[in-house]
């Protein structure tokens, strides 16, 4: 019988994001806290009778062979063959694309991470979580975090991860209606690249003292993005009227934390019609974290 798995690919927010230096290969060194939220894409995996890997949903602007989902599946298959000597069955992958592209929500990376976790289980490839993280890193710096699957303090380009506890809260997120290309932000002459290093306990003790998420650090990419993309600046200014509003990742989305769903709803009701606004709950763990093919998060 053909096996079908329906698997969530949640978004992330960067609660702060400091650019602390640059590697010899030009990639930037970061410090950030990645927060999973309960909104994301959903992927559907159906095993095939042959060995083809197919994306069966059209994603405008992303050709099938360039899709991180398809590239991740091919990488895992090559590794599975190397380990087991067997070619795993092919798979049709459908996607409900909810997250905006170029939104700083990590949609493409999360899709790829979910693909690695789901196919590792479906194909019984046997890679450990760390091995899946290592396999994903060359495809996207956020992929190891999504495989790691817990709110995390991250360093390096995002691959050195430590789990961190943050208070439960709700977020209002605004999509300002522009897609921000990550490379354009990192190559800007206006980017600050020397923010002093913090240690994880600075963040943790800040949270403990303040009993809330507001105010630690900043997003160094924000001043570049707001300069280049005025709608991002407008969203930061508007949402900033209700709390510490920030951009996530390299943009374009802007978020603000609230203690309760009611507070988030009250702000959401006022979001100007030109923007897509929504609320999401902070997740401590990725829904697939404890996945085996029979778990409920990935429904057969």
Ligand X SMILES: Nc1ncnc2c1ncn2[C@@H]1O[C@H](COP(=O)(O)OP(=O)(O)O)[C@@H](O)[C@H]1O
Ligand Y SMILES: C[C@@](CO)(OP(=O)(O)O)[C@H](O)COP(=O)(O)OP(=O)(O)OC[C@H]1O[C@@H](n2ccc(N)nc2=O)[C@H](O)[C@@H]1O
Asked if residue 103 binds ligand X (CB under 6 A), the reply is yes
Residue of 183, 190, 273, 292 interacting with ligand Y (CB under 6 A)? 183
Asked if residue 182 binds ligand Y (CB under 6 A), the reply is yes
Active-site residue flag, 67: no
Asked if residue 107 binds ligand X (CB under 6 A), the reply is yes
Distance CA 167, CA 11 (A): 18
Length of the chain: 300
Asked if residue 28 binds ligand Y (CB under 6 A), the reply is yes
Cα dist from 184 to 191, 228, 299, whole Å: 10, 9, 39
Residue of 57, 182, 192, 214 interacting with ligand X (CB under 6 A)? 182
Active-site residue flag, 12: yes
- Residue 194 contact partner, candidates ligand X, ligand Y, none, CB within 5 to 8 A by sort of partner: none
DSSP 150: B
Near ligand Y by CB under 6 A, which window of 25-33, 85-93, 120-128, 264-272? 25-33
Residue of 35, 109, 114, 226 interacting with ligand Y (CB under 6 A)? 109
Contact criterion met (CB below 8 Å) for 33 and 257: no
Asked if residue 66 binds ligand Y (CB under 6 A), the reply is no
The least CB distance from residue 111 to ligand Y, in Å, is 12
Residue spans of alpha helices (H) in the chain: 68-84, 107-122, 129-136, 143-148, 182-186, 200-210, 222-228, 230-239, 261-268
Name the burial class of residue 262, with classes exposed (0-12), middle (13-18) and buried (19+) by CB atoms within 10 angstroms of its CB: exposed
Counting Cα atoms < 13 Å in the Cβ hemisphere of 2 gives 11
Contact criterion met (CB below 8 Å) for 94 and 43: yes
Q: Which is nearer to ligand Y, 4 or 101 (CB)?
A: 101
Collapsing DSSP states into helix, strand and coil, what is residue 138? helix
Asked if residue 62 binds ligand X (CB under 6 A), the reply is yes
Measured at CB, which residue is nearest to ligand Y? 249
Contact criterion met (CB below 8 Å) for 22 and 29: yes
Asked if residue 67 binds ligand X (CB under 6 A), the reply is yes
User: Active-site residue among 12, 41, 111, 220?
Assistant: 12
Asked if residue 243 binds ligand X (CB under 6 A), the reply is no
Distance CA 78, CA 70 (A): 12
User: Active-site residue among 41, 67, 142, 220?
Assistant: 142
Asked if residue 217 binds ligand X (CB under 6 A), the reply is no
Asked if residue 277 binds ligand X (CB under 6 A), the reply is no
Of residues 184-203, those binding ligand Y (CB under 6 A): 186
Helices 129-136 and 68-84 pack at an angle, to 10 degrees, of 130
Interface contacts to ligand X, rule CB under 6 A: 62, 66-69, 99, 101-109, 111, 182, 249-250
Q: Looking at the annotation, which residues are catalytic?
A: 12, 142
């Amino acid at each position: 019988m053909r096996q079908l798995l329906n698997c969530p690919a949640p978004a992330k927010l960067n609660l702060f994001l400091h650019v602390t230096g640059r590697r010899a290969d030009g990639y930037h060194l970061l410090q950030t806290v990645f927060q999973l939220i309960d909104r994301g894409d959903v992927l559907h995996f159906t095993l095939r009778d042959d060995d083809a890997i197919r994306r069966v949903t059209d994603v405008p602007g992303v050709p099938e062979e360039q899709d991180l989902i398809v590239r991740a599946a091919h990488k895992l298959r090559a590794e599975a063959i190397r380990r087991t000597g067997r070619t795993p069955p092919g798979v049709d992958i459908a996607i409900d694309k909810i997250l905006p592209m170029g939104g700083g929500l990590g949609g493409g990376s999360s899709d790829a991470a979910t693909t690695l976790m789901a196919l590792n289980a479906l194909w019984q490839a046997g890679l450990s979580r760390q091995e899946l993280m290592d396999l994903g890193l060359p495809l996207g710096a956020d992929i190891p975090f999504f495989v790691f699957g817990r709110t995390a303090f991250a360093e390096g380009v995002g691959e050195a991860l430590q789990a961190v506890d943050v208070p439960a809260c709700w977020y209002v997120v605004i999509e300002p209606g522009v897609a921000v290309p990550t490379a354009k932000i990192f190559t800007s002459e206006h980017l600050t690249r020397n923010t002093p290093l913090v240690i994880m306990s600075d963040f943790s003790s800040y949270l403990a003292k303040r009993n809330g998420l507001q105010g630690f650090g900043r997003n160094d990419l924000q001043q570049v993005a707001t300069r280049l993309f005025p709608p991002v600046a407008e969203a930061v200014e508007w949402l900033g009227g209700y709390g510490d509003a920030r951009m996530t990742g390299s943009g374009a989305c802007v978020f603000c934390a609230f203690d309760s769903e009611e507070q988030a709803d009250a702000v959401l009701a006022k979001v100007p019609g030109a923007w897509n606004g929504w609320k999401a709950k902070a997740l401590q763990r990725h829904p697939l974290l404890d996945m085996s093919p029979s778990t409920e998060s990935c429904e057969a």
